[in-house]
């Protein structure tokens, strides 16, 4: 979707730092980012931290860390000085390449105050002195008459001067917006025409006082002040939209376009919650998912390209994503699909790149210079098999250290019942035969092809299972692993012979 060139596209992500970056919010980031990029627009990060009690800078950091990890940077901000690496990051993130810190609402309070004063001055907002008890008794009265409760309007008609005098004198008050009793209609890019009867809303509180604006107010002001053209956010905000539109109208601002993204469900149609699935992006990062796979996966939560394709990298997404074609119906979060995608992306990365990304998932000793060659070779082998970076440690540990295994592992044929039969002598003789053959190969020629060729001569005579099973088991100490020739190439001649010797010792 391309927008008219006269009005530069500006989107924003406006998280409240009251929790870790939710995987669903990461989709909101992505859709805003994609839409801005494909329209040569700007994408803005605005931290909505006016709720001082619930906001927390650790959460802000987590949100920023997550966006940077995904590579979905914002394009603009108020303070070049705030740029730089995020100190004490919980993860190893790539260097911060952006130039700006985010906008923070807590640093913009004077802007909201100016607009609050304007609304009060124009009598579009007013001080409300109602006590909790007043409000509760009005509520009960309305309920008993079968009406949907809303603010009863006790303070609506207090004269402006009198109200200001009372507020100045320190009488507890909040600021309410005079919600006009009209029908609010807007065209949602995803949902089409949406209508709300604003007479059901009642006058809403927009600020606790002149320097403490509440969410709907600061959000509406900032979307206008920051010239946001497209508000792309979760469907859970749909009911806020008419309030924000009315506030913008009251201030003489233009209304942005809205696109409310479908909610995300688990495959059995439950709301995404920690009880069923991890919800924080950071948990997926720690689990060993790649940013490429997560981005691809998130893009398909409520959208898919016209062509029948499952794998679309970020560059293609920028070209193909269409906000208009995002579905209204809930999107299903299918973890198996994410895992599959991750496996696909792992295969496409070079082993060197994977080694780099694997750093947080493997023991430090594996990163030792002496192990570099083994590490790279082991990754080349395992990358065909693993689904997550975190799988590598368990599937590749034997390359670095032979696990202690039971001699029974060497038995061929594999025992089926309880009773264990193994001809130890025969197994040992076979391993000896193999050792001698392997020993003949020059160190410099010690690669998969040469090893395979040498051993195939033996298996032709002595049988595959009888030789290859104990060989592979002796090399890996595991029931399942890559094939013996591949393993030997990774381990090298010396270590291979050492492991065969260990196996023979177990049998003697």
Please pick, from the candidates 22, 104, 230, 233, the single residue that binds ligand GLU as defined by CB under 6 A: 233
Q: Does residue 501 sit in helix, strand or coil?
A: helix
Instruction: Spell out the residues 6+ positions from residue 80 whose beta carbon is closer than 8 angstroms to its own.
Output: 99, 100, 101
CB 118 within 8 A of CB 386: no
Six token digits for residue 484: 């013996």
Closest contact distance (angstroms) between CB of 287 and ligand GLU is: 24
Give residues 347-366 in contact with ligand GLU (rule: CB under 6 A): none
Tally Cβ neighbours within 10 Å of residue 404.
Answer: 8
Six token digits for residue 282: 């950071």
Q: 237 or 472, CB closer to ligand GLU?
A: 237
Closest contact distance (angstroms) between CB of 137 and ligand GLU is: 32
In sign, the C-alpha dihedral spanning 406, 412, 415, 416 is positive
How far is 11 from 296, CA to CA, in rounded Å? 20
Please pick, from the candidates 9, 10, 11, 15, the single residue that binds ligand GLU as defined by CB under 6 A: 15
Q: 237 or 506, CB closer to ligand GLU?
A: 237
Six token digits for residue 16: 């409240």
Closest contact distance (angstroms) between CB of 48 and ligand GLU is: 4
Q: 14 or 206, CB closer to ligand GLU?
A: 14
The CA-atom distances, in angstroms, between 425 and each of 405, 461, 478 are 18, 18, 21
Q: Exactly one of 95, 132, 193, 274 is catalytic; which is it?
A: 274
Can residue 219 be called a binding residue for ligand GLU (CB under 6 A)?
Answer: yes
Closest contact distance (angstroms) between CB of 234 and ligand GLU is: 7
Q: 25 or 430, CB closer to ligand GLU?
A: 25
Please pick, from the candidates 104, 176, 237, 291, the single residue that binds ligand GLU as defined by CB under 6 A: 237
Give phi and psi for 167, each to the nearest 5.
-65, -45
Could you give the string, one character per residue 162-201, with x where binding to ligand GLU holds by CB under 6 A and - elsewhere? Answer: ----------------------------------------
Residue whose token pair is 């592992």: 409
Please pick, from the candidates 48, 62, 65, 489, the single residue that binds ligand GLU as defined by CB under 6 A: 48
Please pick, from the candidates 10, 11, 14, 45, the single residue that binds ligand GLU as defined by CB under 6 A: 14
Determine the interface stretch with ligand GLU among 11-19, 59-67, 320-328, 458-466 (rule: CB under 6 A). Answer: 11-19
Number of residues that bind ligand GLU (CB under 6 A): 7
Q: Does residue 215 sit in helix, strand or coil?
A: helix
Q: 255 or 428, CB closer to ligand GLU?
A: 255
Determine the interface stretch with ligand GLU among 12-20, 144-152, 179-187, 303-311 (rule: CB under 6 A). Answer: 12-20
Determine the interface stretch with ligand GLU among 13-21, 389-397, 457-465, 497-505 (rule: CB under 6 A). Answer: 13-21
DSSP 130: -
Closest contact distance (angstroms) between CB of 14 and ligand GLU is: 4
Determine the interface stretch with ligand GLU among 8-16, 80-88, 128-136, 202-210 (rule: CB under 6 A). Answer: 8-16
Give DSSP secondary structure letters for 323-341: GGG--SSPEE--HHHHHHH
CB 413 within 8 A of CB 486: no
Closest contact distance (angstroms) between CB of 149 and ligand GLU is: 24
Q: 237 or 320, CB closer to ligand GLU?
A: 237
CB 9 within 8 A of CB 42: yes
Closest contact distance (angstroms) between CB of 47 and ligand GLU is: 9
Specify which residues 193 forms β-bridges with: 187
Closest contact distance (angstroms) between CB of 159 and ligand GLU is: 35
Q: Closest by alpha carbon to 199, among 147, 259, 144?
A: 147
Q: 237 or 493, CB closer to ligand GLU?
A: 237
Query: Checking DSSP bridges between strand 264-265 and strand 331-332, what pairing results, if any?
Result: parallel
Give residues 106-165 in contact with ligand GLU (rule: CB under 6 A): none
Query: Checking DSSP bridges between strand 174-177 and strand 183-188, what pairing results, if any?
Result: unpaired
Q: Which residues of 419-447 are buried (b: 16+ CB within 10 A; e: fewer)?
A: eeebeeeebbebbeebbeebeebeeeebe
Q: 12 or 493, CB closer to ligand GLU?
A: 12
Q: 14 or 451, CB closer to ligand GLU?
A: 14
Closest contact distance (angstroms) between CB of 224 and ligand GLU is: 12
Phi-psi region of 477 (alpha: psi -120 to 50; beta: other; left: phi over 0): left
How far is 230 from 15, CA to CA, in rounded Å? 16
Instruction: Judge whether 493 counts as a catalytic residue.
Output: no
How far is 27 from 70, CA to CA, in rounded Å? 11
CB 287 within 8 A of CB 278: yes
Active site residues: 274
Point out which residues bind ligand GLU (CB under 6 A).
14-16, 48, 219, 233, 237
């Amino acid at each position: 979707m391309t927008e008219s060139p006269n009005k530069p596209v500006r989107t924003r992500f406006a998280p409240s730092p009251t929790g870790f970056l939710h995987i669903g919010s990461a989709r909101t980031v992505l859709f805003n980012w994609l839409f801005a990029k494909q329209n040569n627009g700007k994408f803005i990060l605005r931290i909505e931290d006016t709720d001082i009690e619930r906001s927390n800078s650790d959460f802000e950091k987590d949100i920023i860390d997550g966006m940077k990890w995904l590579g979905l940077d914002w394009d603009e901000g108020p303070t070049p000085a705030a740029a730089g690496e995020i100190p004490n990051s919980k993860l190893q993130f790539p260097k911060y390449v952006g130039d700006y810190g985010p906008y923070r609402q807590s640093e913009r309070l004077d802007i909201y105050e100016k607009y609050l004063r304007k609304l009060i001055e124009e009598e579009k907002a007013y001080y409300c002195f109602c006590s909790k008890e007043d409000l509760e008794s009005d509520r009960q009265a309305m309920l008993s008459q079968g009406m949907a409760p809303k603010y009863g309007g006790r303070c609506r008609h207090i004269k402006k001067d009198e109200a200001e005098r009372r507020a100045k004198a320190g009488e507890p008050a909040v600021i309410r917006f005079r919600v006009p009793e009209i029908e609010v209609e807007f065209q949602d890019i995803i949902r089409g025409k949406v209508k709300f009867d604003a007479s059901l809303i009642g006058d809403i509180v927009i600020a606790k006082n002149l320097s403490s604006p509440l969410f709907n107010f600061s959000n509406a002001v900032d979307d206008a002040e920051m010239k946001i053209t497209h508000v792309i956010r979760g469907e859970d905000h749909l009911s806020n939209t008419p309030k924000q539109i009315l506030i913008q109208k009251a201030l003489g601002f233009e209304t942005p376009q809205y696109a409310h993204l479908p909610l995300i469900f688990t495959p059995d149609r439950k709301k995404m919650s920690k009880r069923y699935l991890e919800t924080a992006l950071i948990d997926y990062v720690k689990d060993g998912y790649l940013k490429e796979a997560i981005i691809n996966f998130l893009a398909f939560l409520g959208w898919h390209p016209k062509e029948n394709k499952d794998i679309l990298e970020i560059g293609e997404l920028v070209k193909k994503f269409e906000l208009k074609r995002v579905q209204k119906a809930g999107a299903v979060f299918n973890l198996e699909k994410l895992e599959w995608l991750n496996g696909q992306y792992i295969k496409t990365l070079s082993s060197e790149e994977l080694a780099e990304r694997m750093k947080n998932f493997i023991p430090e000793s594996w990163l030792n210079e002496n192990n570099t060659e083994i590490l790279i070779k082991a990754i080349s082998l395992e990358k065909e098999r693993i689904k997550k970076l975190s799988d590598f440690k368990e599937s590749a540990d034997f390359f670095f250290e032979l696990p202690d295994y039971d001699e029974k592992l060497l038995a061929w044929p594999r025992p089926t019942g309880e009773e264990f039969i193994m001809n130890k002598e025969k197994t040992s003789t076979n391993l000896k035969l193999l050792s001698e053959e392997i020993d003949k190969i020059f160190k410099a020629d010690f690669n998969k092809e040469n090893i395979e060729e040498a051993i195939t001569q033996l298996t032709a005579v002595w049988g595959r299972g009888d030789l290859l099973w104990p060989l592979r088991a002796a090399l890996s100490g595991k029931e399942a692993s890559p094939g013996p020739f591949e393993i030997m190439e990774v381990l090298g001649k010396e270590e291979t012979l050492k492991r065969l010797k260990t196996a023979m010792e177990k049998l003697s």
